[in-house]
């Protein structure tokens, strides 16, 4: 019998994935991984408890264990706390120090879920590994899921073609409501459990408070990008992202405003006033850490510049194996250094790269350097 190890997170998607695989006749076992420990990682001020007596990850483990009992499958457990810190969280902190807006979820998939987890699954005798991601794969190519609202190919766009080998996405051809319905019809304990949000494996936190446990805030001036006038004080550039409109921290200003840039060298946060968003619009960016899942390198495709963002037509110039220039003449708002640009050809996810620099009319924006 073909054996599949399912990544059991304690959520409904992985629970239904395990149910579907068992129903299809596979020998199914679950594997729960713990990648974060608040005490080990010094997160002593974080939201470590639930109802005062159990941390959220232990609640997830208990939910996964209960699901496994309902399905009649074995559940294994493994810790990748040190590896997550070294390969994912340190990168997250380093990017914040540079004033950028990182997305650690893509590296978590690259280095943890589809590397270390897969190796552990193979060690346990798996022919395939499976996850509850909303995505599809065929012939080592990655495709969007049926539910475009929940599609998670954006977060998978840094994994390699080889990492897709022997991988199953059982809910890729289902919608979220269909997944919930299957869970309810089969009395799975997590049928109505809320989806996890926040930083991958760390969860929902008060961002500024959480990050201050690891990086010392460095307050500085908030400057009107048009008048160059100092209009307030920021709490550290790491706490803001391009396009942010809420909680910027300018008192006494009722006119709409948004974060449009950061000067890391001089520790300045630039803010623009009004509704036109003209300071956010760019038409070109340079990406690095280029990872192509597809063997093809098309010069015309589409790109997402953030999860749940639109697909924009782009022209791609490949500078080398690691870098490329994306031109999007239609103009796009809030293309943000540190985020990932993910490339698509129709429903196929081609790969991705980290946004390093953004340009408008062939010039790098001075308030984003």
198: containing domain = 3-207
Looking at the structure, tell me whether residues 145 and 37 fall in a common domain.
yes
Residues 144 and 29 occupy one common structural domain: yes
Q: Are residues 255 and 311 in the same domain?
A: no
pLDDT of res. 55: 67
Q: Give the tokens for residue 98.
A: 């540079």
Average pLDDT, the chain: 91
The pLDDT of residue 196 = 76
Q: Which residue has the higher pLDDT, 205 or 88?
A: 88
* Pair (284, 234) in one structural domain: no
Q: Is the pLDDT of residue 18 over 90?
A: yes
Positions annotated as catalytic residues are 108, 200
**Could you tell me if 116 and 256 lie in one domain?**
no
Q: Kindly state whether residues 148 and 240 are assigned to the same domain.
A: no
Residues 142-185: tens digit of each pLDDT: 999 999 999 999 999 999 999 999 999 999 999 999 999 999 99
Same structural domain for residues 25 and 133? Answer: yes
Last residue of one domain, picked from the residues 155, 175, 207: 207
Q: What is the CATH number of the domain that holds 337?
A: 2.40.30.10
Q: Within a domain: residue 40?
A: yes
pTM of the predicted protein model? 0.92
CATH number at residue 146: 3.40.50.620
Does 240 share its domain with 349? Answer: no
pLDDT of residue 15: 98
252 and 292 together in one domain: no
- Say if residue 203 is in the same domain as residue 231: no
- How would residue 118 be classed by pLDDT, with cut points 50, 70 and 90? very high
Domain membership of residue 212 (yes or no) is no
292: which strand partners? Answer: 351
**Considering the domain boundaries, does residue 82 fall inside one?**
yes
Domain count, the chain: 3
**175, 207, 239: which is the final residue of a domain?**
207
Give the model's confidence band at 198: pLDDT under 50 very low, under 70 low, under 90 confident, else very high: low
**Mean pLDDT, rounded, for 1-7:** 97
Q: Please report, for the domain that includes residue 227, its CATH number.
A: 2.30.30.280
- At 106-115, the pLDDT tens digits run 999 999 999 9
Do residues 339 and 355 share a domain?
yes
pLDDT band of residue 211 (cuts 50, 70, 90) is: confident
Q: Are residues 291 and 257 in the same domain?
A: no
Q: At what angle do helices 56-71 and 12-23 cross, to 10 degrees?
A: 20
**Is the pLDDT assigned to residue 226 strictly greater than 50?**
yes
Where among 207, 229, 258 does a domain terminate? 207
More confident residue, 40 or 83: 83
> 245 lies in a domain?
yes
């Amino acid at each position: 019998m073909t054996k599949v190890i399912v990544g059991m997170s304690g959520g409904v998607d992985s629970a239904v994935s395990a149910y579907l695989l068992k129903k299809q006749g596979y020998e199914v076992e679950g594997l729960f991984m713990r990648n974060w420990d608040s005490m080990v990682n010094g997160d002593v001020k974080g939201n470590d408890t639930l109802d005062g007596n159990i941390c959220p990850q232990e609640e997830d483990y208990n939910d996964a264990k209960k699901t496994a009992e309902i399905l009649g499958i074995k559940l294994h457990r493994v810790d990748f706390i040190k590896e997550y810190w070294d390969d994912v969280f340190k990168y997250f902190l380093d990017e914040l120090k540079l004033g950028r807006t990182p997305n650690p979820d893509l590296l978590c998939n690259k280095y943890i879920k589809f590397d270390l987890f897969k190796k552990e699954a193979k060690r346990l005798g798996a022919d395939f590994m499976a996850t509850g991601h909303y995505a599809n794969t065929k012939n080592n190519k990655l495709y969007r899921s049926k539910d475009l609202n929940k599609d998670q190919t954006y977060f998978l766009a840094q994994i390699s073609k080889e990492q897709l080998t022997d991988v199953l996405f059982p809910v890729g051809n289902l919608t979220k409501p269909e997944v919930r319905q299957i869970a309810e019809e089969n009395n799975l304990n997590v049928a109505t459990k809320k989806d996890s949000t926040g930083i991958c494996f760390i969860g929902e936190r008060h961002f500024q408070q959480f990050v201050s446990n690891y990086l010392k805030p460095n307050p500085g001036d908030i400057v009107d990008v048009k008048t160059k006038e100092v209009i307030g004080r920021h709490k550290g550039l790491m706490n803001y992202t391009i396009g942010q409109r809420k909680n910027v921290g300018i008192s006494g200003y009722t006119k709409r405003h948004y974060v449009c840039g950061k000067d890391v060298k001089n520790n300045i946060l630039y803010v623009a006033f009004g509704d036109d968003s003209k300071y956010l619009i760019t038409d070109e960016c340079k990406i690095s850490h280029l990872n192509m899942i597809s063997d093809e390198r098309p010069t015309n495709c589409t790109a997402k510049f953030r999860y749940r963002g639109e697909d924009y037509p782009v022209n791609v110039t490949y500078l080398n194996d690691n870098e490329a220039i994306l031109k999007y003449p239609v103009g796009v708002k809030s293309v943000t250094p540190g985020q990932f640009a993910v490339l698509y050809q129709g429903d196929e996810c081609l790969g991705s790269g980290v946004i390093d620099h953004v340009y408008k009319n062939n010039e790098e924006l001075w308030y984003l350097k």
